[in-house]
Amino acid sequence: MFMKNLGIAMLLSGFLASCSQFTERHIEYQQETPVSFPVITALGVAPISAQQGNNDTQRMLLAMRASKLEAYRELAERVYGQRIDSQNTLHAMVAQNDVLEASVQGVIRGARVVKSYAVEDTYVTELELDFAEVYATLKNIQPKQSIRSVRYLL
């Protein structure tokens, strides 16, 4: 008798558990704010005299632009990482051809120029990426949510 009741109880609990998948539920979400926000800095440098300008002013402007792009590239590397592709060819256990390529791809939003200055024949740009500002910019576009409560409607 006990085994028969136990079997019926197990059958009913399995049936009720399988039926619970078909009940409606209402889930409320709430946004989560990170505890802390890092600040990342990057430095870009470019030689002034190596630029392809007609005069010193053009070379300075091109070096300014190149150093800023280099700083943005460094920020993208730190945020997204760097992709490395390599090919090696061996002939009789001697390296014949060695190719190494590096690339980075990403979108940097919210970076600001901290300093931009010339030091001798080099132009330097310092960038800063404050993730608190990035969070403020993106929180309405891609909100991070957690479950606040779940109510099952029968």
H helices, E strands: number in the chain = 3, 7
Structure-derived torsion over alpha carbons of residues 144, 147, 152, 153, reported in degrees to the nearest 10: -40
- List, in sequence order, the alpha helices (H) in the chain: 2-19, 56-80, 131-138
User: Which residue from 113, 88, 116 is spatially nearest to 100, judged by alpha carbons?
Assistant: 88
Over residues 3-45, the pLDDT tens digits come to: 555 556 565 565 555 555 556 777 777 767 778 899 999 999 9
All structural domains of the chain with their residue ranges: 25-148
pLDDT digits (tens, 9 = 90+) for 43-69: 999 999 999 989 999 999 999 999 999
